[in-house]
Amino acid sequence: MMSQYRMTVDLNVLDHLGINLYSNMAAVLTEAVANAWDADASTVDITIDPDSKWIKIEDDGIGMSVDDMNEKYLRVGYRRRKMDPVHGTRTAKGRPVMGRKGLGKLSLFSVANVIEVQSFKDGEAHGLRMTVDGIKKSVDENSQYYSPEPLEPDKIDVKQGTHILLKEIKRQRLGRSISALRKRLARRFSIIGEAHDFKINIDGVPVTIADREDLNKVQFLWELEGSDVDTSSAGRLLEKEVLPNKLDAWDSGRIVRGWLGTVAKPKDLDSDEAGNLNGIVVFARGRLFHENILDKLNDGRLYTKYLTGQIEADFLDLDDEPDIATSDRQRIQEDDPRYVDLIAFLKSRLTQVEKRWSEWRKKHEVEKAKEMSPALGEWIESLPPGYQKSAETLIANLSALPVEHEEDKKLMYKHGILAFERMKLRGSAEEFVNNVDDVETLLSVLADRDVLEASLYRDIVKSRLEAIKDFQDLLDEDAKEKVLQKYLFDHLWLLDPAWERATSSEVVESRLKEVGVIIDDMTKKEELGRVDIAYRTNAGKHIIVELKRAGRKM
């Protein structure tokens, strides 16, 4: 029985699939570059008019015949992977085909009102011109199709591959600068370079891995097993580790390649030109699949503010599995099992990253801080062993805060130490350290630093009064002289307040014993009429104290 129903597609959908779908130049050029890759091109040359009136995209790929142009390029929704039995999934060079939906060519209308395409194949060159006005006219006339006009023969100059000329550029979508475009385009492909026989040039200058501006800022790097990460531009790299590239439950064919890295300071990830580098880019088949999957992990731990990375998960774009990328390739269908698996994998690996990051950051930031302020090292060493680890974590957290000038940093360390000491007395030093992860938190903690300082002085005075009381008790109990001597030598400030920080020196003390100034033998002491002698140092001065019985003549 013949159906009485039929579905039709109006040309008006082109407004939604092309003209109004993309919002930036980098995303549009990504589609053109991907088409060049699928055409087995080795080089893509992008030229931008200095006055921003036109953009030219030229590749040296296999080109298109007139039939190819009509049946493939001008056919909206042409699914090469399904409809090309020979090179649908792999090109003649063996490249995995990037295109899937057959909509990418429409992206050009997002940035230009006029598009001229010319191509060369089998010794024949031809070309056409498409316009937004022409498409809209066909829509208004309820036409079933749009017919681009042929290019004038004298305007066709292509000798190899395909040339695309974008005219009447929508300047609001051109972006900030050529430099910014280069960096953003570099972050949209993982197949750039000689290793893949694929080069992209913008105004004659090659786009390189270094243009991504992420690895050159990385301090700590985690490379997924089996990945060949080029670290030649990673001039700040201090530590590196290899992580497993799959979960235990995965089959052998499902792996993730790439790297994760952290920088020294969150501000290192701020870039007006390259975009926000504080994220993890996901590639599949060599092209951008998700701009930042880090936002989807719901991980609010401190280390994520320092995190960047690029991973490749080809299992997200398998030929025999449903397409889970949205039309503009800005998002993924998040309920797909493959996406769920990737999220689980990243959460597992990032737990490892966070643990090692804390260790490495403490190690390097604390050493750097000690070099800048030796007093910090002395303070840490003076703490009981149980507090030293927390103190190092505090210094590492403080070092990462955006404080530029050295004097300001020293002041910050001073108040941080003051707060730590007070919190230590309260038994909450660990909690304080864990909460110092940004400037606002630190300022709120130190807002009452005057009160904290006054409290510390109160505790010092209280401690001194207790020490005096204890010594008085020893006198009242008529304690032995040896007990009194030891107490006074341990609290020299009772003799002179200036000797508050007096310390001993085993080396000097041993030498004094060698020459007979300090004597351990009690019989010899009595012969010489000495009660006892102690040696200390204070502020670079040598202090030798000899105690005598009260009333003894000197």
Please report, as a single letter, which amino acid is at residue 263.
V
DSSP letters of 55-108? EEEEE-S----HHHIIIIISSTT--HHHH-TTTSSB-TT-PBP---SS-GGGGG
Determine contact, residues 288/311, Cβ cutoff 8 Å: no
Domain boundaries, given as residue ranges, for the chain: 13-207, 213-357, 373-455, 480-547
Per DSSP, the three-state class of 109 is helix
For tokens 């060159």, the residue is: 125
Q: Kindly tell me if the per-residue pLDDT of 7 is higher than 90.
A: no
| Model confidence pLDDT, tens digit, residues 45-70 | 999 998 889 999 999 999 999 999 99
For tokens 């590492």, the residue is: 396
Alpha helices in 167-250 (DSSP H): 178-186
Query: Cα dihedral sign for 450, 452, 456, 459?
Result: positive
Beta-bridge mates of residue 130: 115
Distance CA 31, CA 101 (A): 11
Alpha helices in 101-252 (DSSP H): 132-140, 178-186
Question: For the chain, what is the mean pLDDT?
Answer: 84
Determine contact, residues 328/21, Cβ cutoff 8 Å: yes
Range 528-546 average pLDDT: 61
Q: Does domain 13-207 have CATH number 3.30.565.10?
A: yes
User: Residue 380's closest CA among 505, 501, 389?
Assistant: 389
Please give the share of the chain, as a percent, with pLDDT higher than 70: 80
User: Residue 197's closest CA among 88, 64, 44?
Assistant: 44
Range with lowest mean pLDDT among 71-80, 228-237, 250-259, 394-403: 394-403
Range 204-231 average pLDDT: 94
Determine contact, residues 257/227, Cβ cutoff 8 Å: yes
Q: Is the pTM of this model over 0.75?
A: no
Query: Cα dihedral sign for 328, 334, 339, 343?
Result: positive
| Model confidence pLDDT, tens digit, residues 170-194 | 876 666 688 899 999 999 999 999 9
Distance CA 203, CA 183 (A): 14
User: Residue 357's closest CA among 427, 264, 423, 484?
Assistant: 264
User: Residue 17's closest CA among 3, 36, 31?
Assistant: 31
Burial classification of residue 322, based on how many CB atoms lie within 10 Å of its CB (0-12 exposed, 13-18 middle, 19 or more buried): exposed
- B/e letters for 506-523, b = 16+ CB within 10 Å, e = fewer, are eeebeebeeeeebbeeee
| Model confidence pLDDT, tens digit, residues 452-472 | 566 667 777 788 888 788 878
Distance CA 350, CA 356 (A): 10
pLDDT score recorded for residue 18: 62
For tokens 């910050």, the residue is: 412
- Other C-beta atoms within 10 Å of 169: how many? 20
Q: Kindly tell me if the per-residue pLDDT of 508 is higher than 60.
A: no
Report which secondary-structure segment, H or E, holds 240. strand 239-243
Q: Kindly tell me if the per-residue pLDDT of 518 is higher than 90.
A: no
Per-residue tokens: 164: 């695309």
Q: Kindly tell me if the per-residue pLDDT of 400 is higher than 80.
A: no
